[in-house]
Structure 1
Amino acid sequence: MTATCVLPPGEAGALRRGACPSIAAPMRTGDGLLVRLRPVATALTAQDLLALADLARAHGNGLIEITARGNLQLRGLTEASVPRLAAGLAAAGITPQTGVAIEVPPLAGIEPAELADAVPLADALRAALADAALSLAPKLAVVVDGGGVLFLADMVADIRLDAVAGAQGLAWRLSVGGDRATARAVALLPGERAVEGVMTVAAALAAIGPAARGRDLDPALLAAALGADPVPPLSAASPVHPLGAHRIGTETVLGLAPAYGQIHADRLAALVRALAGCGATEFRLAPHHTLLVRGLRAQMLAAAQACAMRERVWSTQDAPGRAVSVCAGAAGCAAASFDTHAAADALVAEAGDLLDGSFDVHVSGCPKGCAHPAAAAVTLCGTAAGVGLILGGRAGDAAAAILPADALRPALTRLGALLRARRAEGETAGNLIDRTAPATLVSAYQGQQ
């Protein structure tokens, strides 16, 4: 990358909702400009991560985030420092991806259990889309999933290609507007027609307009355009969360997640140096705010996990905080009205045993709900009047009860005590919440038990 385009002062914050912050178009937040990037290289070295830490510290406020889709975000930049960041990335040999976001499994090409290596097909799609220069939605997402242990069944995309093994050999199931289970099937295509299928969908989106998404398309019309036969449903499959230790072929891969997706450059640098001392040879960004570590010696796995814990990084599947979606909060966003990370810490401290992954929890600094746009079983949302409790809804929905931020921790203590007292042996917390009357939860939140 040899050049960058930075928005003039005042225009960086003018990005409409739905746009993607990038080096070419940073987004203004409460702590300065935010840049999101995904390196072209799928495998990063320790030196790459140390360089990113240095750049985040030198040109931003040092905060680095791994997003739910496995991208990197650097915070606290300025109009003057963004071009210096771009130059620093180029000097370090780190080239950000551009164009339509195309996701593949984080271990694509090296997983023995995968049906197909998704990388060559993703590269061909990226080139075809770049050549076509279609006007597409900024956040348009394409998933090419070849399978494997850490496949992308739960990643929502506008366009999906899922590898399918059939009687005629390997094929790609083309679908639109959802994850593996919910996306609407369009066609079952041989490998040589997969790019054609995606380009047909992309052209249909461009014809609707630059805001069109996969959910806006008619699968039957697309199938007719491709001359495709009806598509059988995919078999049910539960994805494996990338956090924790995974046996991939003959190696152990460790998935690490910074607490609530955010880590300071100093902590990241300390962690990377410690992991390199444990034998780590490469790092891969993964969904669910995760960084996969390869090359760890088996006898050093426990030591690597201890290093992660020391730097406030989760390394096990049972980390209770992984069930909580948290935005930057008042420390990083002018729209947020309270410290969301402190609230999430209080939630883990007061009710961590209930955060078993069976229900979604969302802590949002404001009603925009950036960290979890969908409905969640429990949402704590900042408002002008305090922190609202929303049950089974989105951050922008009406709160069932609102408390001052300084009354939140006692409220969480009451909720935790209520649910523990009502929980049956072996019952998931999600089922417990489902069968507890909302009025009972609201009363506990307000202290009216």
Structure 2
Amino acid sequence: MTAASHRIDTDTLRRGACPSLAAPMQTGDGLLVRLRPVAPALTADDLLALAGLARETGNGLIEITARGNIQLRGLTGASVPRLAQGLAAAGIVPQTGVAIETPALSGIDPSEIADATPMADALRAAIAAAGLTLAPKLAIVVDGGGVLSFADMVADIRLDAIEANESVVWRLAVGGDRETARSVAVLAAESAVDGTMAVVAALAAIGPAARGRDLDVPALAADLPFSPVGRRWPEGSDEGACSPGGVCAPPSSRCRDLLPEGEQEAKSWFKSGLRHPIGKHDIGGHPVLGVAPAYGQVHADRLAALIQGLSACGATEFRLAPHRTLLVRGLSEEGLVAAQEAAEREGFWCTDQAPGRSVSICAGAAGCASASFDTHAAADALVAHAAGLLDGSVDVHISGCPKGCAHPARAAVTLCGTAGGVGLVMNGKASDPALAAVPAEGFMPAIRRLGAFLRNRRAESETAKTLLDRTAPDTIVSAYQGHP
């Protein structure tokens, strides 16, 4: 690929579309390119090539995103074509089209219900053939289960494998994670792609900005062009059949379910066994180590040093995973210990107890001209003085500016750079009005006050969510600002 043949769509150098080689995003530190390699596994040479390209074409900063993508920062209009050339030369092919995500260990985890990869490939081909115009950030999850399932991954459309009557069926749902998504139907494997395409077509019919939350689920279920596997009323029920043939779609809590009985029990089942990818995992008797750059960001030199160190420990394969994690395979039990030490030396997290893993942060003032304070230092302050907020029960977001790039959704606690200092937003987005603000130079004392207040108020074994739910926002604001 030549620089001339790789044209950048300058109309999409903006927020609102997923940044890619063809449409990089303009940020405060230059252009940002996000990519997900087609290959599910990367070699050491692949990652070393990515590190080299990050240095040569950008500012050297590399990020692993919450959804397991790679981001390179600080590029220019002239350097993006060189990045494309370098990726092609290294044999790294980025995915294009609608994002269809599967667990990182699909096909190699013996505990999974089904290998999600063939279903995802078939769905990807069907969407490409349909030629529909869909929302740029539309996300589809195909989850076969396993040790590192996608149960907590929010998507516009979900297909979740379920064991039923010694076979595998697929639950089709929209607009949420595996617990909160609204069920459309439970489908036989041979109908899952067609059923999903009916949902995709419904999105396209609404318009190019439509997302899963915009869909009318009862209408979708009624319009499926075939009968779902569904569920039937319990014997002796006077409710009658859900629909002709006794099929129930969307699933009803009153039915005898292919899932565990009752809607609440089903939700509990959806969440059971969910594990964070950071740390050690046993996959079919073989160790897998999940490592993560602190707060998802690392300089290319550090990444290269990590990969060289892990390779010396016996690592043979690397897989990108959600929660900003890199999964390392090929290690022996002895090599695993050495690999953990190598990761820690380079500043990577390799235990699921690392409190900073619960914080979403952007590049901050060190890497983005739009940011008004050092988000990494702020995250370190939270870990040191208010770690009780970081038990994973709530989302905590630190944003250098109101754009909220690292966590566009609402969070229980958001600390955001504003014209008036570092603002505190409760149960909102970075763009929402702050309840209070402190000058950037007074931020560290504010975090110490907030941490002390929460520690003194917290009951034994109480989660951060419960603590925040029972604490009036104005008392939190007073602690943050230092008012008596």
TM-score normalised by the chain length of structure 1 = 0.95
Structure 2 counterpart of 1:275: 310
1:55 aligns with 2:53: yes
1:220-369 matched pairs, under 5 angstroms: 220-226=218-224, 227=226, 228=228, 229=247, 230=249, 231=251, 232=257, 233=263, 234-236=266-268, 237-238=270-271, 239-352=274-387, 354-369=389-404
The percent identity for this pair of structures is 70
What SS class does the counterpart of residue 386 from structure 2 fall into? helix
Per-residue deviation at 1:433?
2.7
Distance in 2 of aligned mates of 1:123 and 1:333: 37
Give the structure 1 partner of residue 123 of structure 2: 125
- Of the three residues 477, 480, 483, the one matched with 1:442 is 477
Tell me what 2:244 maps to: none
Return the alpha-carbon distance in structure 2 between the equivalents of residues 292 and 184 of structure 1.
Answer: 31
Letter in structure 2 aligned against 1:218: D
Root-mean-square deviation over aligned CA pairs: 1.6
For structure 2, the 5+ residue unaligned runs are: 229-246, 252-256, 258-262
Partner of 1:74: 72
Partner of 2:193: 195
SS at match of 1:48: helix
Q: Would you say how many aligned residue pairs link Structure 1 and Structure 2?
A: 445
Inter-partner Cα distance in structure 1 for 2:7 and 2:155: 28
Q: Which residue of 1 aligns with 2:8?
A: 6
Q: Which amino acid is 1:152 matched to? A: F
Quote the offset at 1:119 in angstroms.
Answer: 0.4
Amino acid at match of 2:124: R
The one-letter amino acid paired with 1:277 is A
Helix, strand or coil: the match of 1:173? strand
* Equivalent residue, structure 2, for 1:155: 153
| 1:357 shift after superposition | 1.8
Contact 1:29 1:332 in 2 (8 A): no
1: distance between equivalents of 2:351 and 2:460? 24
Q: Give 1:354 deviation, angstroms.
A: 4.6
Contact 2:388 2:454 in 1 (8 A): no
> Which of the pair has more CA radius of gyration?
2
Of 106, 109, 114 in structure 1, the residue corresponding to residue 107 of structure 2 is 109
Structure 1 equivalent of residue 235 of structure 2: none
Question: 1:204 aligns to what SS in structure 2?
Answer: helix
Query: Which of 173, 178, 181 is the matching residue for 2:179?
Result: 181
SS at match of 2:31: strand
Which among 416, 421, 444 is matched to residue 386 of structure 1? 421
TM superposition shift of 1:248: 1.3
- In structure 2, the residue matched to 1:164 is 162
1:205 paired residue number = 203
Query: Could you give the per-residue CA deviations for residues 119-148 of structure 1, whole angstroms, max 9, x where no partner exists?
Result: 011111111111111101111111100010
Q: Aligned to 1:302, what secondary structure does the other structure show?
A: helix
Secondary structure at 1:203 match in 2: helix
Structure 1 range deviating more: 125-134 or 162-171: 162-171
Quote the Cα distance in structure 2 between the aligned partners of 1:353 and 1:157: 29
Q: Within 5 Å, which residues of 2 pair with 1:395-410?
A: 395-410=430-445
The question of whether the paired residues in 2 share the 8 Å contact of 1:260 and 1:325 is answered with yes
Contact kept, 8 Å, 2:26 with 2:32, in 1: the verdict is yes
2:362/2:375 contact within 8 Å kept: yes
The Cα offsets for residues 257-306 of structure 1, whole Å up to 9 and x where unpaired, read as 11111011000000000001111110000011111111112113232122
Mapped partners of 1:170, 1:225: distance in 2: 23
- Shift in Å at residue 6 of structure 1? 1.1
Q: CA deviation at 1:431?
A: 2.3
Letter of the aligned partner of 1:426 in structure 2?
S
- 2:479 counterpart of 1:429: no
3-state DSSP of counterpart to 1:172: strand
Q: Distance in 1 between matches of 2:158 and 2:16?
A: 20
Deviations 1:343-369 (A, max 9, x none): 112221222355222222111112222
Query: Which is further off, 81-90 or 226-235?
Result: 226-235
- Code of the residue aligned with 2:391 in structure 1: it is D
Kept in 2: contact 1:12–1:33 (CA 8 A): no
Deviation at 1:24, TM superposition (A): 0.5
Stretches of structure 1 that go unaligned for 5 or more consecutive residues are none
